[in-house]
């Protein structure tokens, strides 16, 4: 057995899941320097996915995402990668994916069986949301990575942009936060292990990891279906830039301020975040395949919550949209809501 075969998937790269994204400020500098010119058919440069208007009835949505492993099980890693890559389509309010190209990077020494299981998890997840791998690209690379390039279609008028949040709107989030600290607890040195054991019950840590994996393998498709039925003013998904960073994208594009006064977290992750200094209570902790953050009018609020719950999607009311103030995103001493299950009580 080679050295790498004996190592865990997450031990081959030093960054995990969406936390390997280039920081947002550096990405902005990079893209500014290139000065890309977008033609008028590109409806929303800088949003979660590119939307290309073909005619009044048809837009094509294209997006790509890939990252390093966040779990050691290659099959689950494949599912998480497919969930994360396809979620940017749902973050535009679109629901109809027509195909996914699978992108794979594998270290020379990694047994092909590991790569095969990642791809199998990827394909099974795509099937579970009604689509399939239609091709891909595979390279030899020192760090393993997996992801997808996704194509979807939609009516242009169903697309929901970052830019539509209005003062008076309510902010809803569909998954709890805390993926980064929950998963960091699975990769601990013995020094950290003993600190955690003295701080948190081992069952709480195990449940946090299980719920984090459930979050990362639960598609935002159902949430997008609900939004498609009722409508939302602005929409994004919460990934590597955390709630703060993705909220900032909506606030800037909409020229408003977001006041966030409640942060739903995976139970136990506040203590883990404090230990690893991830900044969860400030919305700064990186999420992977996180939930949808939407801005909805007060008058649509009950209907959208009802519709989300009907599709078995939780809806946490985390704050409100204000006229633009000194800061685009205000998260000041928020209430912390500990979540230990994604299941929804639905009353029709």
Q: Is 203 helix (H, G, I), strand (E, B) or coil?
A: helix
Residue 47, contacted partner among ligand ATP, Mg ion, none, CB below 5-8 A by kind:
ligand ATP
Q: What b/e readout covers 9-32, taking b as 16+ CB neighbours within 10 angstroms?
A: bbebbebbbbbbbeebeeeeeeee
Q: Is 345 annotated as a binding residue?
A: no
Binding mask 188-207 for Mg ion (x = CB under 5 A): --------------------
Least distance (Å) from ligand ATP to the CB of residue 316?
A: 19
Q: Is 201 annotated as a binding residue?
A: no
Question: Where does this chain bind ligand ATP (CB under 6 A)?
Answer: 18, 21, 27, 31, 46-48, 65, 88, 237, 239-240
Q: Is 138 annotated as a binding residue?
A: yes
Least distance (Å) from ligand ATP to the CB of residue 92?
A: 9
Non-local CB neighbours of 24 within 8 Å, separated by 6+ positions: 241, 245, 248
Residue (46 or 99) nearer to ligand ATP, CB: 46
Of 88, 169, 281, 287, which one interacts with Mg ion (CB under 5 A)?
88
Size of residue set near Mg ion by CB under 5 A: 4
Least distance (Å) from Mg ion to the CB of residue 175?
A: 13
Residue (120 or 158) nearer to Mg ion, CB: 158
Non-local CB neighbours of 280 within 8 Å, separated by 6+ positions: 177, 178, 180, 181, 263, 265, 269, 270, 273
Phi, psi for residue 47 in degrees, rounded to 5: -85, -175
Look at strands 234-237 and 316-323 and give their pairing: unpaired
Distance CA 346, CA 45 (A): 37
Distance CA 158, CA 184 (A): 38
Q: Is 162 annotated as a binding residue?
A: no
Q: Binders of Mg ion among 218-247, rule CB under 5 A?
A: 237
Distance CA 215, CA 212 (A): 5
Residue 18, contacted partner among ligand ATP, Mg ion, none, CB below 5-8 A by kind:
ligand ATP
| CA distances from residue 337 to 90, 116, 198, 236, 262 in whole angstroms, order as listed | 25, 39, 23, 21, 7
Residue (91 or 215) nearer to Mg ion, CB: 91
Distance CA 75, CA 80 (A): 9
Residue pair 66/108 in contact (Cβ under 8 Å)? The answer is: no
Q: Is 56 annotated as a binding residue?
A: no
Q: Is 46 annotated as a binding residue?
A: yes
Residue (68 or 267) nearer to ligand ATP, CB: 68
Residue 134, contacted partner among Mg ion, ligand ATP, none, CB below 5-8 A by kind:
none
Known active-site residue 215: no
Least distance (Å) from ligand ATP to the CB of residue 83?
A: 11
Residue pair 291/247 in contact (Cβ under 8 Å)? The answer is: no
Least distance (Å) from ligand ATP to the CB of residue 21?
A: 6
Which residues are marked as active site? 18
Q: Which residues bind Mg ion (CB under 5 A)?
A: 48, 88, 91, 237
Per the annotation, binding residues for ATP are: 21, 45-47, 65, 88, 136-138
């Amino acid at each position: 057995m080679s050295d790498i075969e004996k190592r865990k998937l997450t031990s081959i790269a030093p960054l995990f899941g969406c936390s390997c994204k280039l920081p947002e400020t550096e990405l902005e500098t990079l893209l500014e320097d290139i000065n890309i010119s977008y033609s008028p058919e590109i409806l929303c440069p800088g949003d979660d996915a590119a939307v290309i208007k073909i005619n009044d009835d048809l837009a094509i949505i294209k997006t790509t995402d890939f990252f390093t492993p966040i779990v050691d099980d290659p099959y689950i890693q494949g599912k998480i990668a497919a969930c994360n890559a396809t979620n940017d389509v749902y973050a535009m309010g679109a629901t109809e994916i027509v195909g996914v190209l699978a992108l794979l990077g594998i270290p020379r020494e990694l047994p092909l069986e590991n790569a095969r299981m990642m791809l199998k998890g990827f394909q099974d997840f795509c099937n579970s949301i009604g689509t399939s791998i239609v091709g891909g690209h595979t390279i030899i690379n020192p760090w393993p990575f997996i992801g997808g390039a996704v194509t979807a279609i939609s009516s242009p008028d169903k697309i929901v942009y970052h830019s539509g949040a209005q003062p008076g709107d309510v902010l809803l989030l569909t998954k709890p936060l805390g993926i980064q600290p929950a998963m960091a607890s699975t990769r601990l040195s013995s020094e950290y292990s003993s600190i955690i054991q003295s701080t948190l019950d081992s069952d709480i840590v195990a449940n946090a990891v299980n719920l984090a994996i459930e979050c990362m393998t639960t598609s935002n498709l159902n949430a997008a279906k609900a939004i498609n039925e009722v409508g939302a003013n602005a929409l994004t998904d919460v990934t590597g830039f955390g709630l703060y960073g993705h909220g900032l994208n909506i606030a800037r594009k909409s020229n408003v301020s977001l006041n966030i006064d409640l942060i739903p977290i995976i139970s136990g992750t506040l203590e883990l975040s404090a230990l690893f200094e991830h900044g969860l209570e400030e919305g700064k902790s990186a999420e992977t395949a996180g939930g949808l953050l939407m801005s909805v009018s007060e008058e649509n609020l009950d209907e959208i919550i009802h519709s989300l719950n009907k599709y078995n999607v939780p809806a946490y009311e985390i704050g409100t949209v204000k006229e633009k103030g000194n800061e685009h995103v205000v998260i000041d001493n928020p209430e912390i809501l500990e979540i230990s299950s994604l299941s929804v009580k639905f009353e029709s």
